[in-house]
Amino acid sequence: MRILLTGRNGQVGWELERALPALGEVVATDRKDLNLESAEAISKVIRKVKPKVVVNAAAYTGVDRAESDYDLAMRVNGIAPGVLADEAKRLGALLVHYSTDYIFGGETTSSYVETDTANPVNAYGLTKLEGEKRIAGSGCRYLTLRTSWVYAPRGRNFFLAMAKKIQAGDDVHVVNDQRGVPSEARFVAEMTLALLQNAAEGTFHVVPGGSTTWHGFATEIAKHLAPEKIIRPIASDEYPTPARRPRNSVLNSAKLAHRLGMLPADWRLLVARCFTQWIRASGGARPPERS
């Protein structure tokens, strides 16, 4: 089976390029190979590769930048998935696409299930929701996987930013009134593989077990570097950003667990795994602990 992967250099894409060969031949592309801003480029590559599965791990991920760069974000997150879906339908291929917890508005205190009504509060969420709608409306076979707060031991993400601040001994202040589920990129790739092996289609929430705040996430990271480090909690109002964030964007992964017959690992265990990978990538030496 031939699989076309977009976004090979992204956090999830990097992991997928290593996980998907278990299913067949992987043709992995980055932006220079396949520019999602161009519908013509998308069609040209898919018609050349003729994949049985298209895995779209590429996205415009700048949540704050999307507020002022909406047109580009919409082309990549909203319009391009629709083109991918049309081409997948023409080939009879399955389209795997990644979406976000930020399609929800955070009005509820409970976790969101797949059928809950979307109500984005920022431009990024609006563009990702548009991508979902275009895929569902295309009539193609699809697997849309919503995840949240993605991190990895490489790239640019909250995990690395916090680890480096803590390691440097900087004062760290993190918001404590936004709740979600930190999701390790490797976990997302593993669940993608498992769902494909299970012939799943439709929409699934792909997040680990449990939930926390950004402050809780930072505190968990600190435990692996400097357990005595105090992470100062602050309110969102004390850390204004161009894009609003939902106060609660916890995704419910019960449908995923039922389909795979297993409970997802707790998010804390995956932070520990990511930390171990980061240390190995740094040469195997544990960074010095600082308060």
Which 3 state secondary structure label does DSSP give 198? coil
Per-residue buried b or exposed e for 160-196, using 16+ beta carbons within 10 Å of the residue's own CB:
bebbebbbeeeebebbbbbbbbbbbbbbbbbbbbbbb
Q: Where are the beta strands (DSSP E) in the chain?
A: 2-6, 25-28, 53-56, 94-100, 141-147, 150-151, 173-175, 179-180, 183-184, 202-205, 212-213, 232-234
- Among residues 124, 142, 151, 239, the one annotated as catalytic is 124
Contact between residue 151 and residue 185 where contact means Cβ atoms under 8 Å apart: yes
Active site residue 124: yes
In this structure, how many other beta carbons lie within 10 angstroms of the beta carbon of residue 110?
A: 9
Q: How far apart are CA 125 and CA 260, in angstroms?
A: 28
User: Residues 6 or more apart from 11 whose CB is under 8 A from it?
Assistant: 150, 151, 152, 154, 155, 157, 185
Contact between 15 and 187 under an 8 Å Cβ cutoff? The reply is no
Calpha distance 274→220 (Å, rounded): 12
248 DSSP 8-state letter = B
How far is the C-alpha of 255 from the C-alpha of 14, rounded, in Å?
26
> What is the length of the chain?
291
- Residue numbers annotated as active site: 124
